[in-house]
Amino acid sequence: MAILKISKKHHKRFNNPFPSPPTTIPNVQGSLFINSKALSSQDQTFSIGKDFHLSWSIINGGHLSISHLSQKNRPVWSTISGKAFVSAAVVDTEIEESRGSFLVKDKDVHLICNHQTIDEIRMINQYEVSVADFPFTEEMKFPTLLITGRLFNMSKKNKRFQKYGVEGNIQFESKGPFVYARYWVLFDQKNKHEVGFQVKIEKLNFGSSDKVSPEGSGVYKGFKKRMSSRKKRLGWFWYLSRPRGFVLVSSVEDESGEMEISKPKEFNRIWLSYASDENERFYGFGEQFSHMNFKGKRVPILVQEQGIGRGDQPITCAANLVSYRAGGDWSTTYAPSPFYMTSKMRSLYLEGYDYTIFDLTKLDRVQIQIYGNSVEGRILHGNTPCELIERFTETIGRLPELPEWIISGAVVGMQGGTNSVRRIWEELRTYDVPVSAFWLQDWVGQRETMIGSQLWWNWEVDEQRYWGWKELIKDLSAQNIKVMTYCNPCLAPVEEKDNKKRNLFEEAKQLDILVKDGNGNPYMVPNTAFDVAMLDLTHPKTETWFKQILLEMVDDGVRGWMADFGEGLPVDAVLYSGEDPISAHNRYPELWAKINREIVEEWKSSKSLKNSNKDRDDGLVFFLRAGFKDSPKWGMLFWEGDQMVSWQANDGIKSSVVGLLSSGISGYAFNHSDIGGYCTVNLPIVKYRRSQELLLRWMELNSFTTVFRTHEGNKPSCNSQFYSNNQTLSHFARTAKIYTAWKFYRIQLVKEAARKGLPVCRHLFLHYPDDEHVHKLSYQQFLVGSEFLVVPVLDKGKKKVKAYFPLGETSGWIHIWTGNVFSKQGSESWIEAPIGYPCVFVKVGSIIGETFLNNLKNFGIL
């Protein structure tokens, strides 16, 4: 039995501003042994369904490879010759939690079975299922392929895991027990372009190294001589720093305890290891903000707060100092996904919700560490990046078409109440700004806290702040302007709020639909400046109750909302479903998206019955920040969370471009950021305040994303706003018109995304995968669909940008402001880009490009 320790750091003050990285087990390597009595000494080929085959080669110790029958010589997945491709271990784990941030640490390693045998490779037809020792399902396409064998331990003396900080010696005891376990790997065809895989490992078997028979221990006759020589040199048992003798699951800060434990019965770690090319680039992994290519990195897949700064200084240091690890790092994200595709057109994703690390630090391999005792996933076949996205999203689900109103003009994010909205509305009309909606996040009322103005998390309108609420909505609707609001899956106690009609926290508590702690009480989760309870989305009563709350909002005339949060489920929570809270943590954002989507679909159905032809474009829409692999199935629109109001790379305007493009590769076809960023800091020695220049450049950037939405930030008075002065208002009008000028193309792209899963905004890799220079790009430039090339200004004081024109494009590119044509493939040019003239190109001869230019002329911009 392994130890799980959960440490709460919510109230820890004056922390290390430069925290060390988590202790993790380095790349696990072992040998592959072949049962020569059971396997042929010749290379073999086995069918997987009708469209794939697996090749077994005995060269250099043996390896496997899977190919699609249309391209037999191009493997989509292969193992490393002579190396184990499945390993397992029993490892102690510590999880540190602090206000939505989570850190997983590997502690003592009790044992590792890092060596592997292959006993049998067997094709199974549907008539043979009853005799195969594996749980088959009716959906499987036969023949399937079953690989069986054993995992076992064997190691050198006194090896240390120091590279990544794992503490303790790996010691060797010659008289200790030999440990092995039987494993099964099943490959089955899921559809024409996907192979599924499952790995299951039985419970551990312990035996004495000097008594275990070869047949009983997985030491096969075919390599008995080879094993015997290793046994004499190394011994059989890999024993890693004796267990400390306690099992601890702590929900209280600094709590500890001990109890005796017996030998472990099952593994809690699995590694999958397979081959990669040295120059292979890896893209995807959900919404990532710092990197596009992940070769050489270890990518953790865990939903959490993205952090404040994420490595940008000095803000990361300051955030870490005042709140434990609040700064985050390059890998922290609201919406990761256990999915990738590569420059070699290989792609793989995992099913399930276990915490996972993709280790890409070795040039010749991929190693996936799964924090569980089984693993399931799929291997994809495709010839282009767009094909791979299409096939991935065909399985996991795609975002639906957005209502046209949300992509027709500016979504004006502001606060202040009815009087403020009507005043700003009048100003916007004066400047002829095309407006789609007012997004009023403070509709529930505000309170002042230590981090700024924050909302009352009690989802009803504050009629003191927004007097005449229904009339305001009606007046805006008469001008085809919608009203959007805000909610999240948390509820705060509101005893101190004077004008409340309902106390939703108390209602949910009485209904017993809140997430519980270990004592059966509502789990009060520290969040920024106050504690909140979370809805238990696994409870059947939650859905009905919460839907009714939001439908009351919709009945008032609201047509959209930000569905915030979803990333903070505590890993020691107790849920109605009884499921493992660590896995449920990654699942919770999908449940949150699902309940919102069901509200949209149910309202749409009821409305269509009443008004079959009226108000076709009156659909509802919500937008999310937290997500996981299947979120595109349940979401509608995403936004990138709380970027800093800065020019920096890891958490400023540059990171918003990287997040936009990486999420698009991962199935999040519709995404956008807050114009100007969100997170403002106004401390005596650390100041991050939104400058006017940053705001104007962010407007230009977002005029080429799916949705064009402003945000005042967490400290509005410290930030330049679109309504600050004549220049900001004029620029806002100009960029909103630029955004509106390509609405016709945006509608096409939204429809294409709903059909194929392709993102609106695209990294150049999607269309030019053979161009080596393209793989070096991250935030520098991007495509809108296939027809626009956008090169944003992302640095303070810059008025020129370097544009790259990719190889493989037969058309030239027209600069929209000067009409200059750039036809040389693989070339770079410096382009003037003063404020108001973002660097954008359209393809020569493109009807879409010509229409866009004509629309700009009609708006008086060009």
Tokens of 233: 């040199």
**51, 536, 564, 771: which one is catalytic?**
564
**Phi and psi of 375, rounded to 5°?**
-150, 145
Angle (CA) 371 633 630, round 5°: 10
Of 440, 429, 435, residue with least CA distance to 409: 435
SS3 for 596? helix
DSSP 247-265: -----STT-----------
Q: Which residues pair with 790 in a beta bridge?
A: 782, 840
Q: Is the torsion defined by CA of 153, 123, 142, 46 positive or negative?
A: positive
**Ramachandran sector of residue 172 (left: φ over 0; alpha: ψ -120 to 50; beta: rest):** beta
Tell me the C-alpha distance between 782 and 706, whole Å: 13
Burial class (CB in 10 A: 0-12, 13-18, 19+), 287: buried
Tell me the C-alpha distance between 193 and 389, whole Å: 12
In a 13 Å sphere around the CA of 415, the CA atoms on its Cβ side amount to 20
Tell me the C-alpha distance between 50 and 194, whole Å: 11
**Phi and psi of 117, rounded to 5°?**
-110, 155
Angle (CA) 649 651 652, round 5°: 70
Tell me the C-alpha distance between 295 and 280, whole Å: 7
Are 649 and 290 a contacting pair, CB within 8 Å? yes
Are 749 and 766 a contacting pair, CB within 8 Å? no
**Phi and psi of 843, rounded to 5°?**
-70, 140
Are 470 and 556 a contacting pair, CB within 8 Å? yes
Residue 218 contacts by C-beta under 8 Å, 6 or more apart in sequence? 117, 119, 149, 150, 151, 152, 180, 182
Of 145, 86, 146, residue with least CA distance to 117: 86
**51, 567, 640, 674: which one is catalytic?**
567
User: Where are any strands of DSSP class E within 656-765?
Assistant: 671-672, 681-682, 687-688, 761-762
Tell me the C-alpha distance between 184 and 117, whole Å: 11
Tokens of 397: 């689900």
Q: How many CB atoms within 10 Å of residue 341?
A: 27
Q: How many CB atoms within 10 Å of residue 691?
A: 16
**329, 536, 642, 651: which one is catalytic?**
642
Residue with tokens 């899921």: 190
Of 783, 833, 796, 763, residue with least CA distance to 648: 796
Tell me the C-alpha distance between 206 and 276, whole Å: 34
Of 455, 425, 273, 254, residue with least CA distance to 364: 273
SS3 for 854? helix
DSSP 598-610: HHHHHHHHHHHHH
In a 13 Å sphere around the CA of 789, the CA atoms on its Cβ side amount to 28
Are 113 and 88 a contacting pair, CB within 8 Å? yes
Tokens of 138: 């009716």
Assess whether 642 carries a catalytic annotation: yes
In a 13 Å sphere around the CA of 535, the CA atoms on its Cβ side amount to 29
Are 439 and 562 a contacting pair, CB within 8 Å? yes
Tell me the C-alpha distance between 87 and 201, whole Å: 10
Tell me the C-alpha distance between 789 and 112, whole Å: 50
Tokens of 459: 């989802």
Annotated catalytic sites, by residue?
564, 567, 642
